[in-house]
Chain A
Amino acid sequence: MNQNLLSITGVSKNFGDVTALDDVSIEIRENEFFALLGPSGCGKTTLLRVLAGFEDPDTGSVTLGGQNLLSLPPNKRPINLMFQSYALFPHMSVEKNVAYGLQREGLGKDEIRDRVADVLTTVGLTDKASRRPAQLSGGQRQRVALARAIVKRPQLLLLDEPLSALDRKVRAEMQLELKRLQHEVGITFVVVTHDQDEAMSMADRIAVMSEGVVKQVASPVDLYSRPDNLFVADFIGSSNAFRGVASEAGVQVDGLGLLPGTFGASSGEATLIIRPEDMRLVDQDQAVLAGTVVDTQFTGGSSTIALSIAGHSSPVLVSCQGSASVTRGDTVHLAWDPSRAIKLTK
């Protein structure tokens, strides 16, 4: 496993009465593609700005490669930021935009020219070198912004909602492109996003944030299959949640009976989570729950069936392959593999 590059320890930041970051601690490893994921206002952008040096945290420490980062002024940090708006200099050509950071390092003309040419080849914009940002498409601007950041060969590249300004099709392309570039240049990427699909498909690990607090840090697969708490279970993918009292065989829910799960010895209040794709439609004799179909949605490869279950307030979602064989008003029976059930106590 790669060693830690960036250590964020106990960082808090308040703006007046608003707590933007509340005792945030995250370790980011070398050459990792790390995502900060959360709804808007969860503090992820503030955290990014703390790393870039545009905000000072009230408390806490940040080290990069063992060195205290917070004592460095923003223009001396070996960290580059790709802005959400790209923040390209409108009065400079693509080439000059990319060269700007190298000129600040006081490098020689020849080296600057070579490195700019290299990075423009990497992002595929060699033929646009003399254009102004206003003459480029959204996707091209994004690549200039990326080139301008990676040409500095930072230890850490921060990307603030890098794909939000692009339309759907270009976005999917750029997701792959970013991932490829990250491998190619070997820089640690920290990307801020509110889009869970984006984070899940690109990142090696994700920190899910809500209201200034880190809810869980894990790989995409672990976040999905082993959420730590209700917020993560709810935010990542869809889920069916049942509150009740835990026991060895599952969770006892008022009005629904014992919902099976294999948790080992446990007790106390708990929530049972079952993903829609883990729900199976079964014959009546194997059923754990029974419900009435209220809606079916066909989404191409699979369908989602929404069920109303007596004694449970929110609809229960079931995914199945192909089109649904049931229609509105049908009574269906549900079961699941107890080992797929997730128990949450938070």
Chain B
Amino acid sequence: MTSPAAQGRGAGRRRALGARFVFLGPGLFYVTVFMAIPMLLVLSYAFLKRGRFGGVKMEFTLDNFHRVIESVYVSVIGNSILIAAITTILALLIGYPTAYAIARLPRKWRNLALVLVVLPFWTNFLIRTYAWILLLNSEGPLNKGLTAVGILHEPLDLLYTRGAVIAGLLYAYLPLMILPIYASVERLDNSLIEAATNLGASRARAFFTVTLPLTLPGTMIGAIFVFVPSLGNFIVPELLGGGKTVMIGNLIRDQFLKARDWPFGAVLALIMVALLILLFAGQAAISRRINGRGRHA
């Protein structure tokens, strides 16, 4: 026999669970329909044979994974990682000082500076990338300007190069580097820098021993935010690379839409997801170490 009080508690718990589901519901629905199911589909396609006109045949195989190590795909993946890495490093070198400078601005100027940083997002991505074509082509203002002042004698081939792809990616994703770094620099307690100075550290030493380690988690988030979409981007390599620079994003799209080899496309997509998970796990581990919520807590 249960006491009335226990019954009351049971009912209360059921109500609490119900209320929780009402609030969780939309998010749960979204995650299930738009994340979990597609991911499971991609995961299962990777182990199936390709259908003749796209789609899959319900036969188990591991061949799709073997194909990844064919030299042509290895070189595309390697090339993509290289381009994304260069983009990330450049974004880091430009983004960190920018974010640092914005965080040190007087409060009233900070918001304006941040608006300027995200302003390009208000324009369509495709249009912004087309703008780079105009900027970089042999008749474009860059070449025209450099020839006019006599630095160049004839126009350079700026467009349809790896450099153009990197420039386009950098331009597209730089704000994603600046914002998380800004957030972590802005949050940094200035008395920590003063403490380092007071204990005898020069400005540079205080930066490298205090500011940099404490803003590293935010910086790594920025780096992941730039690296991952750069790696998967297929618009920029196509428009600014002129099809000469193939990246993993192009490859995945082509497998699904042109080659109609869904299983292989799924394998390539899985590789990217796995990379992403690894990067975030690494970031989380380092950030835990820095914040000191490790072993003892």
Q: Does B71 contact A (CB under 8 A)?
A: no
Q: Does A322 contact B (CB under 8 A)?
A: no
Q: Does A237 contact B (CB under 8 A)?
A: no
B189 touches A91 (CB 8 A): no
Contact (A87, B191) CB under 8 Å given A75-B202, A101-B199:
yes
A85 touches B210 (CB 8 A): no
Task: Give residues 223-257 of A contacting B (CB, 8 Å).
Answer: none
Q: Which residue of A lies closest to B290 (CB)?
A: A91
Question: A100's contact among B194, B196, B202, B289, by CB below 8 Å, is which?
Answer: B196
Q: Which residue of A lies closest to B202 (CB)?
A: A75
Contact with A along B179-218 (1 / 0, CB 8 A): 0000000000101101111111110010001100110000
A111: shortest Cβ distance to chain B, in Å?
A: 15
Q: Does A263 contact B (CB under 8 A)?
A: no
B189 touches A85 (CB 8 A): yes
Contacts of A90 in B (CB 8 A): 214, 290-292
A134 touches B191 (CB 8 A): no
B-side binding surface: helix, strand, loop or mixed? helix
Contacts of A85 in B (CB 8 A): 189, 191
A87 touches B201 (CB 8 A): no
B199 touches A131 (CB 8 A): no
Question: A89's contact among B192, B198, B202, by CB below 8 Å, is which?
Answer: B192
A87 to B196, CA, bound (A): 9
Q: Does A148 contact B (CB under 8 A)?
A: yes
A104 touches B292 (CB 8 A): no
Q: Which residue of B lies closest to A160 (CB)?
A: B191
A132 touches B292 (CB 8 A): yes
A54 to B196, CA, bound (A): 12
Contacts of A148 in B (CB 8 A): 199
Q: Does B24 contact A (CB under 8 A)?
A: no
A105 to B191, CA, bound (A): 20
A-B contacts, 6 of them at CB < 8 A, read A75-B200, A88-B195, A93-B292, A100-B196, A104-B199, A131-B296
Chain A interface (Cβ within 8 Å of chain B)? 52-54, 74-76, 79-81, 83, 85, 87-91, 93, 100-101, 104-105, 131-135, 148, 152
